[in-house]
Chain A
Amino acid sequence: MKLKQLLQKMSAQNEGFQRLLASVVSIGFGLVFGLILLVCFNAPYAGSGFLSLISAGFRSSDKFAKVLYQAAPLVMTGLSVGFAFRTGLFNIGATGQYTVGAAFALIGAIELQLPWYVCLLLAMLGGAIWGIFPGLFKALFNVHEVITSIMFNWIGVFSVNLIIVNLSQMLARDWGLAQMDRTAPLDVANPSAMLPKLGLDKLFGSSYMNIGIFIAIIIAILMYIVLNKTVFGYEQKACGFNRNASEYAGISSKRSIVLSMVIAGALSGLGGGLYYLAGTGQYSLLKALVPMGFNGIPVALLASSNPIATIFSALFVSFIQVGGDAMQPEFVREIIDIIVSVIIYLSAFSLLMRSVIAKWLAPKQPALALETKSTPDPDSGNSAESEATKS
């Protein structure tokens, strides 16, 4: 009963808290659903499988380092998708921007032998260039950004592959290694382009550890400040909330669309840079899209596009992905994707869930009931973008 009272008090004060509560409830349902799935697929191992799902990320410092390592690019793609959501755009092109950013970073690192910070800037530039297309096409020709993004995802993958194979020393085989169709590992090609580890690798006892996650967190805080404390951020959110109204108020919505996509692209591109400059992964030439960019979408949705919450939702998604790897071979790791998708599905009707939570928390006395009932804004609309702009 005490817990309920505490929750009542907090949710009456803060709508963001209700949103958090809705996310936590979604996650809870998703995990329960995951447990049921585990029982269905392989009942004798369900208990141990579920245990490793929810604890593998904490089991050793090496595993925890892997959680952080994977979370860094997820934070960035999550921020990218979330920022676009806030401004009323759906950036499904994060994966293309991520790929182009990664390619720019790697070209800087291997072909041009530049240090890591320059490579990261290049990654942002690459992502921004790839983000500008959906923005321009939407602003100038009114082509929907989802379609442009999807097309440019594929154009991005193919052009990156084409450019990498045509440069003189990008591939591992150019450095005398046996691997086919992969870029050269950074510790051979250019160790100075690897993200600094600052002794963290020794502390965690893991080669996965580097400063990537800290860069991602700093960027997330920066995005929070930009969105909530600057005129520019206000204009962007206004455009996302109601394009016509903001146009009427003197904000150029075309400029806003292009800028929003450029920034979203730069964020995704930086994510690609952070992942591949860690030195543990090599870019391989595939004729498919990388899943990291798509995973930014659930990360952003789970965080209701709030930059600070994005850090935690990325950590959560990365955490259960590491847990999913630990469930093998008794279970297929894709069960993680099912769980995440269930969570997203539930969070899609977060409005309903919030009103259920509000009802559950509403105290019995009629006077107070009125007060709490008014907290979930009936006009806040049903889309994530419009909700997000409210906070």
Chain B
Amino acid sequence: MRIVSDILSATILFAVPLLLVALGGMFSERSGIVNIALEGIMVIGALFACLTLRALDLNTSIGQNAPQLGMLIAVLIAAISGALFSLLLAFASVSLKADQTIGGTALNMMAPALAIAVTWAVQGQGQTNIIIPTWARITQETLGITPKDVFWQNLLFKSFYQTTIWAIVLFIIAAVVLYKTRFGLRLRACGEHPQAADSVGINVYRMRYSGVFISGVLGGIGGLAYTVAAGSTFQSSVAGYGFLALAVMIFGNWKPWNILGASLFFALFKIIGSYSSSIPFLPKFDNLNQSEYLYLMVPYVVTMILLILTSKKSRAPKAEGIPYDKGRR
């Protein structure tokens, strides 16, 4: 039972960043902007959030007194910094009508390099890791529950962070905003047929800016969520999770509920891959050296197969990737 709760808990932990970032990508693409810069946005969000956590840890006593308030500040910083960074993409691809893939690639390249340079500048030469204070995690003690070795406590508290709560809240908000509000309808219209949207008085540029901005908010928080999930330090990278989130988004067919399913699914296979040696019922391939590589491949292979099977139903926003030009028919 222990292993099951461990796997489930780790699955949720890694599904959270995928979910947040893929939802971010969904907002951007539904407004018509291909956001390949998610990886970079994650790095920037995580960078500033981790610097905040470190500063709070060193200079204040917030870690002892109100750790979750400190974490809340970090989440907000992640959201703001991610959003500001994403505006660079919006400026290039909406205002200047530049190629969205190129702008995104530039930002992806810039973010980790900037993160390393800033980490050096703050921490001194050669110090490329930012250590995340241990109080960032929510434990049984935080909530005043006595720790017991029971299934649900292992499941919930093995690795529980505030980002998980935010992911649930933001997921619900995202689903409601996209389908039940005027804003969501207009946003989707801009991704499908911006000319038509413009003709009924919707400001396409503003909608697209909003879409990218929201993706920056979610991407930034997702970056922090990834960093706390991946280990105790931030190393100026999110290991390709931004790109994986793009895959999750496509696999999830640009719809919130499908994205939720896709991110849980992908995270589960990812965790099975990395826990392969300790899961009893998996074949061991004794005649093979380092068979863990085989399991590490599994999530990618399975996603590929599923993408093929679902490709018939897959429908991208029609106008994504095309800069909106008022004068064009």
Residues of A with Cβ closer than 8 Å to B?
A: 37, 41, 90, 92, 137, 141-144, 146-148, 150-152, 154-155, 158-159, 161-162, 165-166, 287-289, 294, 297-298, 301, 329, 332, 334-338, 340-342, 344-345, 347-349, 351-352, 382-384
Contact B246 A150 (CB under 8 A): yes
Question: What B residues does A41 contact at CB under 8 A?
Answer: 117, 120-121
* Cα separation A162 to B289 with both chains bound (whole Å): 8
Q: Which residue from B96, B126, B239, B311 sits with its C-beta under 8 Å from A288?
A: B239
Contact A151 B303 (CB under 8 A): yes
Residue-wise interface mask of B (98-114) relative to A, using a CB-CB cutoff of 8 A (1 in contact, 0 not)? 11011101110110111
Question: What A residues does B316 contact at CB under 8 A?
Answer: 144
* Cα separation A160 to B304 with both chains bound (whole Å): 18
Question: What A residues does B291 contact at CB under 8 A?
Answer: 162
Question: What B residues does A150 contact at CB under 8 A?
Answer: 240, 243-244, 246-247
Closest residue on chain A to residue B128 by CB atoms: A332
Closest residue on chain B to residue A163 by CB atoms: B293
Residue-wise interface mask of B (192-222) relative to A, using a CB-CB cutoff of 8 A (1 in contact, 0 not)? 0000000000000000000000000000000
* Cα separation A382 to B126 with both chains bound (whole Å): 41
Residue-wise interface mask of B (10-41) relative to A, using a CB-CB cutoff of 8 A (1 in contact, 0 not)? 00000000000000000000000000100000
Contact A301 B105 (CB under 8 A): yes
Measured between C-beta atoms, what is the minimum distance from B126 to chain A in Å? 8
Residue-wise interface mask of B (240-264) relative to A, using a CB-CB cutoff of 8 A (1 in contact, 0 not)? 1001101100100000000000000
Instruction: State how many residues of chain B have any CB contact under 8 Å with chain A.
Output: 49
Measured between C-beta atoms, what is the minimum distance from B324 to chain A in Å? 10
B84 within 8 A of A: no
Contact A337 B109 (CB under 8 A): yes
* Cα separation A341 to B40 with both chains bound (whole Å): 12
26 contacts between A and B (CB under 8 A): A41-B120, A137-B304, A142-B311, A143-B311, A143-B314, A147-B246, A147-B247, A147-B307, A150-B240, A150-B246, A151-B303, A154-B296, A155-B301, A159-B297, A162-B290, A288-B239, A294-B109, A297-B105, A329-B125, A332-B120, A335-B113, A338-B113, A341-B107, A344-B106, A345-B110, A384-B101
Measured between C-beta atoms, what is the minimum distance from B217 to chain A in Å? 21
Question: What A residues does B311 contact at CB under 8 A?
Answer: 141-143
Contact A143 B308 (CB under 8 A): yes
Residue-wise interface mask of B (265-299) relative to A, using a CB-CB cutoff of 8 A (1 in contact, 0 not)? 00000000000000000000000111101101100
* Cα separation A289 to B92 with both chains bound (whole Å): 28
Contact A166 B289 (CB under 8 A): yes
Contact B110 A337 (CB under 8 A): yes
* Cα separation A161 to B311 with both chains bound (whole Å): 30
B175 within 8 A of A: no
Closest residue on chain A to residue B303 by CB atoms: A151
Measured between C-beta atoms, what is the minimum distance from B275 to chain A in Å? 15
Contact B304 A345 (CB under 8 A): no
Closest residue on chain B to residue A384 by CB atoms: B99
Measured between C-beta atoms, what is the minimum distance from A4 to chain B in Å? 25
B116 within 8 A of A: yes
* CB contacts between A and B, total, < 8 Å: 144
Measured between C-beta atoms, what is the minimum distance from A332 to chain B in Å? 5
Question: What A residues does B116 contact at CB under 8 A?
Answer: 332, 334
Q: Which residue from B96, B103, B112, B250 sits with its C-beta under 8 Å from A147?
A: B250
Closest residue on chain B to residue A338 by CB atoms: B113
Contact A341 B109 (CB under 8 A): yes
Q: Which residue from A141, A287, A338 sits with its C-beta under 8 Å from B308?
A: A141
Question: What B residues does A345 contact at CB under 8 A?
Answer: 88, 92, 103, 106-107, 110
Question: What B residues does A137 contact at CB under 8 A?
Answer: 304, 307-308
Closest residue on chain A to residue B273 by CB atoms: A158
Interface on chain B toward A: helix, strand, loop, or mixed SS? helix
* Cα separation A344 to B107 with both chains bound (whole Å): 9
Contact A384 B102 (CB under 8 A): yes
Measured between C-beta atoms, what is the minimum distance from B210 to chain A in Å? 21
* Cα separation A166 to B288 with both chains bound (whole Å): 7
Known contacts A159-B293, A329-B125; 12 additional CB pairs below 8 A are A144-B250, A154-B296, A158-B293, A289-B240, A332-B120, A334-B113, A337-B112, A341-B110, A342-B106, A345-B92, A383-B101, A384-B99
Interface residues of B in 159-215 (CB under 8 A from A): none
* Cα separation A37 to B116 with both chains bound (whole Å): 13
Interface on chain A toward B: helix, strand, loop, or mixed SS? helix
* Cα separation A20 to B29 with both chains bound (whole Å): 32
Measured between C-beta atoms, what is the minimum distance from B73 to chain A in Å? 25
Measured between C-beta atoms, what is the minimum distance from B168 to chain A in Å? 26
Question: What B residues does A340 contact at CB under 8 A?
Answer: 109
Contact B304 A148 (CB under 8 A): yes
Closest residue on chain B to residue A181 by CB atoms: B290
* Cα separation A332 to B112 with both chains bound (whole Å): 12
Which of B36, B246, B290 is the most central at the interface, judged by chain A CB atoms within 10 Å of its CB? B290
Measured between C-beta atoms, what is the minimum distance from A86 to chain B in Å? 14
Contact B297 A143 (CB under 8 A): no
Question: What B residues does A383 contact at CB under 8 A?
Answer: 99, 101
Question: What A residues does B323 contact at CB under 8 A?
Answer: 382
B135 within 8 A of A: no
Measured between C-beta atoms, what is the minimum distance from B39 to chain A in Å? 10
Contact A334 B117 (CB under 8 A): yes
Q: Which residue from A142, A165, A329, A334 sits with its C-beta under 8 Å from B112?
A: A334
Question: What B residues does A382 contact at CB under 8 A?
Answer: 97-99, 323
Contact B300 A151 (CB under 8 A): yes
Closest residue on chain A to residue B126 by CB atoms: A329
Complex A-B, nearest 5 residue pairs according to Cβ-Cβ distance, in ascending order: A337-B113, A341-B110, A345-B106, A334-B113, A349-B98
Measured between C-beta atoms, what is the minimum distance from B108 to chain A in Å? 8
Question: What A residues does B121 contact at CB under 8 A?
Answer: 41
Which of B98, B246, B304 is the most central at the interface, judged by chain A CB atoms within 10 Å of its CB? B98
Known: A288-B239, A382-B98. Contact between A158 and B296, CB under 8 A?
A: yes
Contact B300 A154 (CB under 8 A): yes
Measured between C-beta atoms, what is the minimum distance from A99 to chain B in Å? 13
Question: What B residues does A352 contact at CB under 8 A?
Answer: 96-98
Closest residue on chain A to residue B246 by CB atoms: A147
Known: A155-B297, A345-B88. Contact between A37 and B113, CB under 8 A?
A: no
Closest residue on chain B to residue A81 by CB atoms: B105
